[in-house]
A and B are shown apart, each in its own frame.
Chain A
Amino acid sequence: MTAGILLDVRGVSKRFGGFEALTRVSLQVREGERFGLIGPNGSGKTTLINCVSGALGSDEGEIRFAGHDITRLPAHQRTRLGIARSFQIPKPFVSMTVLENLCIPAEYAAHARFPGAGADVVAEAMEILRLIGLEAKAHAPAAGLTQIELRKLELARAMAARPRLLISDESMAGLSSAEVDEILAILLALNERGIAIIMIEHIMRAVMRFSQRIVVLDAGARIAEGGPGEILNNPAVEKAYLGE
């Protein structure tokens, strides 16, 4: 299957003072693809994602999404175009209920892209909560959720923006094995609906099972790309993780 390219990152660099966090990184994600982004701690995964989602501006290079040049767009406009993300450390809207958390992106992002879709924001949000398995908590305050519920809320809230590309930033970190499987099943179900997903994860078992294609970053540069099997047998990747 040769689906079109959805996200096209071309030679993106990002510096923090004298530290070069990303050095001319390029990668492409296709429509509906399950894409893994891995690398040791500090390799620039989250920085790259921040550049893609718009939380950070990039110093060099170009980012295109669905045919638009989004390199200079503010984050909220990228979300409206269809890029949604979850945060590594959950950032819920704590004064709201779980359902109200979802209504924010539904109203501000999905509605902006699909005029008229705002008519039934609540029904749509409930549908997403059902899919994610959070519907029992819909009217609970977001401040009182457990860790796994917070991770689910992150994904549910990102989904409420009706993304074409979902970026899951370490949604499984610190979860138990059973919980990892639960999140993995959710991400697979979301992908079934045609949403491309970038998974950033340290839990190799999950990334390898999930991804169709993987890019490996090390010290801000891309060192490998390929299917899960190729990546596992790549000497450069082994060196990056384990040293020589």
Chain B
Amino acid sequence: MRGRALLAVAVALVVLAVALTRLSANQYYYFAAYVIFQYVVLATAWNILGGYTGYVNFGSAGFFALGAYTAAILIKAFPVPFPVLLLAAGTVGGLLGLSLGYLTLRLRGVFFSIATLALAVVLQTLIVNWEYAGGSRGIYTMRPATVLFFDNYVEFLFVVMLILALGALATARWIEHSRLGRGLAAIRDNEEAAECMGVPTLRLKLVAATVSGALMGIAGAPFPYYVTYMEPASTFNLDYAVNSLAMPMIGGATTWVGPLLGAVLLGTAQQIATVTISSALNLLIVGVVLVAFVILAPDGIIGLVRRRRGGRHA
């Protein structure tokens, strides 16, 4: 029943978004909303491995950028239709996630996290030294002149990213309520006990890492069309890694609602700050809010709400 209600909300949101593009309001709003939706995907994807399974990935920027570069290179090489970009970026991200999953065999805790950070640096170095991908000069991507149904390409990307965000949330919600999600929670709580209770820990970790990586890759796929010019330093920016980790932690990392809340709140705050104060202030906001939450509400907003409710009933 709840699932159906949520599906209805999702469909309504897409219809609303499409209707909004008919209003031809200021283009900036679509740009800003796109970024927030993109963070919903990234935060949700991060949370599948970080929040559900307990493996903290500092390399989200690498996954995102890999998806973006996969798309940019494909666009440069062949005239590919848009859905193929999503599929290709998802596949590449998923494969990278799978290899990350194998890392969990040997590395846990902070050691795993450091390895993920290193992974992102290695990928960035590869791109910087790859002439065809633009190297450190960057790569230009031409938007198609027209796109079916929409007047403007940004409006199209805005709707696409909303659908991707909803898809990511649906995936996370499904995992959370499935046998897979319960197994992942057991791994997060105590991996050794989980294995001894019959949970195939390696297989589950591989699935979580692959799904997480694929979603991050997909989040990057529309990026070349969005910015039209990409270069490694900004595409592999630490902002992506920090945000996709901070947003679930601020929202609450054990449920699919947490990353959504965190991404919408923090993403909006950053957009407002960029316009009103300065664009350099973004990461400072994230830092301050994250520190405040780690100290005052370690289980995020969801944890705060639950504690309030639990307190009243107990």
Chain A positions near chain B (C-beta within 8 angstroms): 53-55, 74-77, 79-80, 84-85, 87, 91-96, 100, 103-105, 107-110, 112, 157-158, 160-161
A74 x B185 contact (CB < 8 A): no
A76 x B189 contact (CB < 8 A): no
Shortest distance from the beta carbon of B6 to any chain A beta carbon, whole Å: 23
Within the assembled complex, what's the spacing in Å between the Cα atoms of A105 and B200? 11
Given A55-B192, A107-B179, CB of A95 within 8 Å of CB of B197: no
The reply on B183 being an interface residue by CB < 8 A is yes
Within the assembled complex, what's the spacing in Å between the Cα atoms of A104 and B188? 13
Within the assembled complex, what's the spacing in Å between the Cα atoms of A80 and B189? 20
Within the assembled complex, what's the spacing in Å between the Cα atoms of A161 and B199? 11
Residues of B within 8 A of A103 (CB): 182
Q: Which of A92, A93, A95, A108 contacts B198 (CB 8 A)?
A: A108
Residues of B within 8 A of A85 (CB): 196
A76 x B182 contact (CB < 8 A): no
The reply on B166 being an interface residue by CB < 8 A is no
Contact residues, B248-290 vs A (CB, 8 A)? 254
Residues of A within 8 A of B125 (CB): none
What per-residue 1/0 map shows which CB atoms of B189-215 lie under 8 Å from chain A? 110111111111110000000000000
Ordered by A's residue number, 5 sampled pairs between the chains whose C-beta atoms are within 8 Å are: A54-B196, A77-B200, A87-B192, A91-B190, A112-B198
B189 x A96 contact (CB < 8 A): yes
Given A94-B189, A157-B193, A157-B197, 20 other A-B contacts at CB below 8 A? Answer: A74-B195, A75-B196, A76-B200, A77-B200, A84-B197, A92-B189, A92-B190, A93-B186, A93-B189, A93-B190, A93-B193, A94-B190, A95-B185, A95-B254, A104-B197, A105-B198, A107-B182, A108-B183, A110-B198, A158-B197
Q: Which one of B185, B189, B201 has the highest number of Cβ atoms from chain A below 10 Å of its Cβ?
A: B189
Given A55-B192, A95-B254, CB of A76 within 8 Å of CB of B201: yes
Closest to A80 in B: B198
Given A91-B193, A93-B190, CB of A76 within 8 Å of CB of B185: no
Within the assembled complex, what's the spacing in Å between the Cα atoms of A79 and B190? 16
Which 4 pairs of residues, A with B, have the shortest CB-CB distance? A109-B198, A108-B198, A93-B189, A91-B193
Shortest distance from the beta carbon of B314 to any chain A beta carbon, whole Å: 11
Residues of A within 8 A of B197 (CB): 76, 79, 84, 104-105, 108-109, 157-158, 160-161
A76 x B179 contact (CB < 8 A): no
Shortest distance from the beta carbon of A49 to any chain B beta carbon, whole Å: 11
Closest to B202 in A: A74
Shortest distance from the beta carbon of B245 to any chain A beta carbon, whole Å: 19
Given A93-B190, A95-B254, CB of A75 within 8 Å of CB of B195: yes
Residues of B within 8 A of A92 (CB): 189-190, 193
Within the assembled complex, what's the spacing in Å between the Cα atoms of A77 and B183? 15
Q: Which of B185, B200, B202 contacts A96 (CB 8 A)?
A: B185
Residues of A within 8 A of B202 (CB): 74
Closest to B179 in A: A107
Residues of A within 8 A of B200 (CB): 74, 76-77, 108
Within the assembled complex, what's the spacing in Å between the Cα atoms of A85 and B185? 20
B185 x A87 contact (CB < 8 A): no
A108 x B199 contact (CB < 8 A): yes
Residues of B within 8 A of A109 (CB): 197-198
Q: Which one of A77, A92, A93 has the highest number of Cβ atoms from chain B below 10 Å of its Cβ?
A: A93
Within the assembled complex, what's the spacing in Å between the Cα atoms of A183 and B79? 70
A55 x B198 contact (CB < 8 A): no
B188 x A95 contact (CB < 8 A): yes
Closest to B199 in A: A108
Residues of B within 8 A of A96 (CB): 185-186, 189
Within the assembled complex, what's the spacing in Å between the Cα atoms of A144 and B182? 20
Within the assembled complex, what's the spacing in Å between the Cα atoms of A77 and B192? 14
Closest to A157 in B: B197
A104 x B182 contact (CB < 8 A): yes
Residues of A within 8 A of B194 (CB): 93, 104
What per-residue 1/0 map shows which CB atoms of B89-129 lie under 8 Å from chain A? 00000000000000000000000000000000000000000
Within the assembled complex, what's the spacing in Å between the Cα atoms of A167 and B18? 60
Shortest distance from the beta carbon of A105 to any chain B beta carbon, whole Å: 4
B183 x A104 contact (CB < 8 A): yes
B198 x A79 contact (CB < 8 A): yes
Residues of B within 8 A of A112 (CB): 198
Shortest distance from the beta carbon of B280 to any chain A beta carbon, whole Å: 38
Closest to B200 in A: A76
Shortest distance from the beta carbon of A98 to any chain B beta carbon, whole Å: 13
Q: Which one of B189, B190, B194, B198 has the highest number of Cβ atoms from chain A below 10 Å of its Cβ?
A: B198
Within the assembled complex, what's the spacing in Å between the Cα atoms of A112 and B189? 22
Q: Which one of A53, A103, A105 has the highest number of Cβ atoms from chain B below 10 Å of its Cβ?
A: A105
